[in-house]
């Protein structure tokens, strides 16, 4: 294999590993298992407007289903509470349509980055570039550790600022803020998102350490 291809694959594996790991964890959190874990926590804040744990699980599963199914925003638009009132107002529906676009783009990047990271590493290893494969995995793991140590430190110091900056990057200004009585806030309060960010950062950090350790010792000549 030409040296420039080896160098390019190594570079891509290193750079895309943090992306692949965090998006892998994003996908793992868009599951019923995570919802049951999160709402079952003893320190998860109660809804002052009356949602029970069962209500939250029921309605959040519908929202999650919307993010993954092929239907448009009318899927959420036709959801109602037992009294016939719509579950979401127009502002919430617009935001959820935006969220779905971001999620679908993120999942596409997840698949692409996974193909590059896994496929690139295998290609290097199967063509006799064992040391390049090893250094790519160790380098990608190291980059991931540095990035997510920084993110976790930022969360500990000022999560509110991180939360605002995240939304400013992915969503139009003024479209993602809601009243405390709105369904989205009642289902997904700030505590929910704090836990999401910690699990994304912590999970990616642990995974990177495992990958780096296995590559460093397991692939050593």
Q: What is the pTM of this model?
A: 0.92
The whole-number pLDDT of residue 162 equals: 87
The whole-number pLDDT of residue 172 equals: 84
Helix segments in the chain, DSSP class H: 3-29, 32-39, 53-68, 74-77, 90-126, 130-170, 183-187, 190-213
- The number of residues in the chain equals 221
Residue 57 near residue 36, CB atoms below 8 Å: yes
Residue-by-residue pLDDT tens, the chain, 221 positions: 788 899 999 999 999 999 999 999 999 999 999 999 999 999 999 999 999 999 999 999 999 999 999 999 999 999 999 999 999 999 999 999 999 999 999 999 999 999 999 999 999 999 989 999 999 999 999 999 999 999 889 888 889 898 888 888 888 887 888 999 999 999 999 999 999 999 999 999 999 999 999 998 876 55
The whole-number pLDDT of residue 220 equals: 59
Residue 56 near residue 44, CB atoms below 8 Å: no
The whole-number pLDDT of residue 219 equals: 62
Q: Is 82 exposed, middle or buried (0-12, 13-18, 19+ CB in 10 A)?
A: exposed
Cα separation, 208 vs 216, in Å, equals 12
Q: Which residues pair with 86 in a beta bridge?
A: 80
- CB environment 109-147: b (16+ within 10 A), e (fewer): ebeebbebbeebbebbbeeebeebbbbbbbbbbbbbbeb
Give residue limits of the domains in the chain: 3-218
């Amino acid at each position: 294999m030409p040296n420039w291809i080896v160098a390019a694959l190594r570079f891509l594996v290193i750079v895309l590993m943090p992306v692949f790991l965090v998006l892998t964890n994003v996908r793992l959190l868009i599951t019923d298992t995570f919802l049951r874990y999160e709402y079952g926590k003893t320190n998860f804040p109660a809804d002052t407007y009356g949602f029970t744990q069962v209500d939250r699980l029921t309605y959040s599963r519908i929202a999650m289903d919307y993010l993954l199914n092929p239907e448009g925003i009318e899927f959420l638009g036709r959801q109602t509470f037992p009294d016939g009132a719509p579950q979401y107002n127009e502002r919430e529906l617009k935001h959820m349509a935006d969220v779905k676009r971001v999620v679908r783009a993120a999942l596409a990047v997840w698949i692409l980055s996974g193909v590059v990271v896994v496929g690139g590493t295998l290609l290097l290893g199967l063509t006799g570039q064992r040391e390049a494969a090893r250094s790519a995995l160790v380098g990608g793991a190291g980059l991931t550790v540095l990035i997510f140590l920084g993110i976790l430190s930022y969360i500990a110091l000022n999560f509110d600022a991180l939360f605002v900056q995240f939304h400013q990057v992915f969503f139009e200004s003024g479209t993602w803020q809601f009243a405390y009585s709105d369904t989205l806030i009642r289902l997904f309060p700030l505590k929910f998102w704090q836990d999401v960010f910690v699990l994304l950062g912590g999970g990616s950090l642990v995974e990177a350490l495992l990958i780096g350790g296995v590559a460093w010792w397991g692939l050593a000549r």
